[in-house]
């Protein structure tokens, strides 16, 4: 259980922060940047949820995803170095990825096939979900860069989760727009 009695600790005043193991890293370290961008994705989903309360099925999915993203942040903040820890580290597991896949399929089943690229927009909820998708893609790029860095282990499930999440957010934005006037489609060369 997490207990936060004091918000400021002054331990980061010199530009470092601690991993879950206690190891200090610069705040601009790639691992810190990666889980910071996962946190940013979570905040974007929180903003999107301001517009999905009237869609309880989708809102419930987004609530579960927000919780998963804290799991993912904990996973990334605790690199598996092979050193024993005094606790069982939280890891993203395959069942979380599989749940996302089922929910993508569920939402996508009601959608017409795409015949054009979709512009981010439509309803406020869809626009917010598109923003969350783009931030999630950035988190995924950072995560794969981290995974390629020697001595910086990242679980395959963590990378896979981010990849599926960006797909989910795209399909969810389309699903939201389908409840109204539909997607805003790209028209190549329209403004020439």
Per residue in 79-94, pLDDT (tens digit) is: 998 888 888 999 999 9
Q: pLDDT exceeding 70 applies to what percent of the chain?
A: 95
Average pLDDT over residues 35-53: 98
- Higher pLDDT: 6 or 44? It is 44
pLDDT tens for 48-59 read 999 999 999 999
- In this prediction, residue 1 carries a pLDDT of 58
Under 8 Å CB-to-CB from 58, ≥6 apart: which residues?
52, 107, 172, 175, 176
Name the helix (H) or strand (E) containing 119. Answer: strand 118-119
pLDDT at 163 over 80: yes
Is residue 137 within 8 A of residue 170, CB to CB? The reply is no
CATH number for the domain running over 27-78+89-109+117-182:
1.20.1200.10
Question: Within 10 Å of residue 151's Cβ, how many Cβ atoms?
Answer: 6
Domain boundaries along the sequence of the chain? 27-78+89-109+117-182
Q: Strand runs (DSSP E) across 1-153, as ranges?
A: 16-18, 24-26, 118-119
> Which pLDDT tens digit goes with each residue over 53-81?
999 999 999 999 999 999 999 999 999 98
pLDDT at 3 over 70: no
Query: What's the pLDDT at 86?
Result: 87
First to last CA, the chain: 57
The mean pLDDT value of the chain amounts to 93
What would the pLDDT profile of 119-158 be if each residue is shown by its tens digit?
999 999 999 999 999 999 999 999 999 999 999 999 999 9
Looking at per-residue pLDDT, the higher value among 17 and 170 belongs to 170
Determine the Cα–Cα distance for residues 190 and 126; give it in Å rounded to an integer.
22
């Amino acid at each position: 259980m997490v207990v936060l009695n004091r918000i400021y600790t002054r331990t980061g005043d010199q530009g470092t922060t601690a991993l879950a193991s206690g190891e200090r890293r610069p705040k601009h370290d790639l691992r810190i940047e990666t889980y910071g961008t996962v946190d940013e994705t979570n905040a974007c989903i929180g903003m999107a949820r301001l517009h999905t309360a009237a869609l309880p099925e989708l809102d419930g999915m987004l609530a579960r995803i927000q919780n998963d993203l804290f799991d993912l942040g904990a996973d990334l903040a605790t690199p598996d170095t092979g050193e024993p820890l005094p606790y069982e580290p939280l890891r993203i597991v395959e069942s979380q990825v599989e749940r996302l896949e089922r929910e993508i399929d569920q939402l996508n089943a009601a959608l017409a096939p795409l015949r054009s690229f979709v512009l981010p927009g439509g309803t406020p909820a869809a626009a917010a979900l598109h923003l969350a998708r783009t931030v999630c893609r950035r988190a995924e790029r950072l995560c794969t860069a981290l995974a390629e860095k020697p001595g910086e282990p990242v679980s395959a499930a963590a990378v896979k989760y981010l990849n599926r999440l960006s797909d989910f957010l795209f399909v969810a934005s389309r699903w939201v727009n389908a409840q109204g006037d539909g997607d805003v489609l790209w028209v190549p060369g329209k403004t020439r």
